Amino acid sequence: MFIREVTHRNRKNNTEYSTYKVVESLRTERGPRQHNILNLGTDFNLPKEKWKDLANRIEEIITGQQSLFDYPKEIETLAQRYARKIIRRESSVVPRSEETPSDYLPDYQTVDINSIENEQARTVGAEHVVLHTINELGLDQELHRLGFNKSELDVTIGVIAAKLIDPASERATHIWLQQISGIDELMDTDFSHLSQDRVYKVSDKLLRHKQEIEQYLSWKERNLFNLQEKIILYDLTNTFFEGSGKFNKKARFGRSKDKRTDCPVVTLGLVLDADGFPKRSKVFNGNVSEGKTLKKMIQNLSSKKPLIKPTIVLDAGIATCANIKWLKDKENQYTYLVVSRKRKKDIPDNIEMITVKEDKHTIVQVALVENKESDEIELYCHSTGKEKKEKGIKSLFAKRFEEELEKAHQALFKKSGTKRYDKVVERIGRLKERFRRIAHRYEITIKKDPKTNKATSIDYHQKEQDTRRDGLYSLRTNLKGLKEEEIWNIYNMLTEVEDAFCSMKSELGLRPVHHQKEFRVDGHLFITVLAYHILHTIRFKLRQLGIHHDWETIRHLLSTHVRITTMMKRKDGKMIHIRKSCRPELFHKEIYDALNLPYQPGKTIKVIL
């Protein structure tokens, strides 16, 4: 086996170029002949003095020979790639028996069992589930309709699957597609030559068709699962940058929901239906006012006019007076249920509460009150879980505030401490601003020595507080004729949005953002939303059958289902290469059965060389 350079002439511009081929010599009845095994193309650039080593190593891999010495990494990498191509090209799919479709036709060979080796293990369990769901949603067909060619479509599906199975940077995704996952085999393609640049460009093309893709998925999920869409949930989150974000006009310093005040952020708005399926997403500036985003996200959600407009459910940050007025307008006439911005001290006393939830963790009591002035129903709620959480937060802030006050007091007696009265007052003022959520609960006295103009002590004590309103919150709605529990249950659907954001950040790698350019950041967030469509479809179907694992657990356990190549030497010296998925374990079968999937992802392939 050797490598040959073949010179060609381009007829269009009369220039010469070379291609490179792996060639083997054969003995035939008419004498020795040479046979081209593999065309290496025009971009083969290994120095000529290394060609012989490469050809030898390819032959060793194919024939199962043990190498006497280690080859350089460059040669070993190329040899493995080209040997796999040769094996794949020469291979054939093992046919199944017609009588027993679950079994393969028998093929008896005499082999040396001591020569058996396994190589090229690639994960296929989670890939099997993700690809099936993408096909079920028809996303591949929709992308093809939007102009994605076969090559672009393969890479796009690979990148979306990577976001679900091994979320990371584009560089890490490129490595995963080439060296870890067997998704290309399930798709009948080859990612061994995939360039990193193509991985980046996927998000660019997806982003150009964002509106059409979201509209299609919304329509498909509605029809696939017979969703009613009587309730629409809307909320926002943000994610922070690793870097300055100076090339992205949307990257602004704002209130980070991940507590990363040192980083610029961008905001993601997400509209979901009551079943948790995304309807629309949009990327806003990091410091956007949440209330000003509602109209853009809710208008014209459906391509067809519904007979009954959905009820809009919003958190307090979006439920501004202007938005409530807009929802009530004659032109819109939406019903809504929102978290009220009413202060706790304005909640009336002596209202009769009823219990709508009681378990070992929390008790929730609610009371309905009709507000004739606004023509709304108000639901006052008290949660023991929320009360405990609020008290815990206040206790933590109080402890930190007192620690800082004590430091300021101790500084009065240290050599280099702050002692001047005006400076001490300034220091306490900054502390009050820093701990404004708790500082109003304290009475602080700073004593002054009139002769030296220095502070002599800082005394503080906590005022007596009315804790009866801890754990209280209120809802407002223009829905009429509903009972307390029905209203409270509708409000709790907002947890679907919180779950979606939590899943995107923890399971799908939404944060942090490593890109710096605006369109790349928008593309990263959109691919995450697309991945969530797939994830929620899988989770929705599994929950209907009583399987409530989170996605992280599912993909972790499915990662043990792999495809592997088994090699063994035949009695006549030839090597048998069999590429096959391993036998699934009990958990794999549970998931596959629930999703109606076959146990063996991919084809069984055999080649004798």
Tens digits of residue pLDDT in 461-494: 988 876 667 888 889 999 888 899 999 999 988 8
CA–CA separation, 472 vs 463, rounded Å?
A: 21
Is 104's pLDDT higher than 70?
no
Report long-range pairs for 594-600 (Cβ below 8 Å, ≥24 apart).
594/541, 594/542, 594/545, 594/547, 595/129, 595/132, 595/133, 595/538, 595/541, 595/542, 597/128, 597/129, 597/132
Give the pLDDT of residue 565: 92
Residue 346 confidence (pLDDT) above 80: no
Of residues 161 and 515, more confidently modeled: 161
Check residue 599 and give its pLDDT.
92
pLDDT at 295: 86
Percent of the chain with pLDDT over 70: 95
Per-residue pLDDT band at 345 (split at 50, 70, 90): low
Q: Report the pLDDT value the prediction gives residue 100, as an integer from 0 to 100.
A: 47
Query: Can you give the pLDDT at residue 162?
Result: 95
Q: What is the arithmetic mean of pLDDT over 75-92?
A: 82
Give the span between the Cα atoms of 181 and 185, in whole angstroms: 9
What does the mean pLDDT of the chain come to? Answer: 88
Tell me the pLDDT tens digit for each residue of 232-253: 899 999 998 887 778 889 989 8
DSSP 174-185: HHIIIIIB-HHH
8 A C-beta contact, residue 370 and residue 377 = yes
Q: What's the mean pLDDT in 405-429?
A: 92
User: Does residue 265 contact residue 293 with C-beta atoms inside 8 Å?
Assistant: no
Phi, psi (degrees; rounded to nearest 5) at 250 = -85, -15
231-240 and 311-314: which strand pairing? parallel
407 confidence band (pLDDT: 50, 70, 90): very high
What average pLDDT does range 201-226 have in this prediction?
Answer: 93
Confidence of residue 161 (pLDDT cuts 50, 70, 90): very high
Residue 104 DSSP symbol? B
Q: Helices H, strands E: what count in the chain?
A: 19, 19
pLDDT in tens, 167-179: 988 889 999 999 9
CB 376 within 8 A of CB 366: no
pLDDT, tens digit, for every residue of 545-599?
999 999 999 999 999 999 999 999 999 888 899 999 999 999 999 999 999 999 9
Question: Between these two residues, 250 and 99, which has the higher pLDDT value?
Answer: 250
- One-character DSSP codes across 49-65: GGHHHHHHHHHHHHHTP
Beta bridge partners of residue 577, listed in sequence order: 567, 607
Q: What are the residue ranges spanned by the domains of the chain?
A: 2-90, 111-123+561-608, 125-208, 210-347+470-544, 348-468
**Which two structure tokens, joined as six digits, stand for 400?**
């930190």
Residue 432 CA to residue 440 CA, distance in Å, equals 8
Q: What is the pTM of this model?
A: 0.83
Give the pLDDT confidence of 2-46 residue by residue, as tens digits. 899 889 888 888 888 889 999 888 888 778 888 888 888 888 889
pLDDT for residue 126 is more than 80: yes
Residue 51 has pLDDT above 70, yes or no: yes
Please provide the size of the chain in residues: 609
3-state SS class at 423: helix
The answer on pLDDT for 401 being more than 90 is yes
The model's pLDDT over 493-541, given as tens digits with 9 standing for 90+, comes to: 888 888 999 999 999 988 888 888 889 899 999 999 999 999 999 999 9
The values of phi and psi at residue 244, to 5°, are -80, -30
Q: Strand runs (DSSP E) across 158-274, as ranges?
A: 231-240, 265-273
Q: Are 428 and 458 in contact (CB under 8 A)?
A: yes
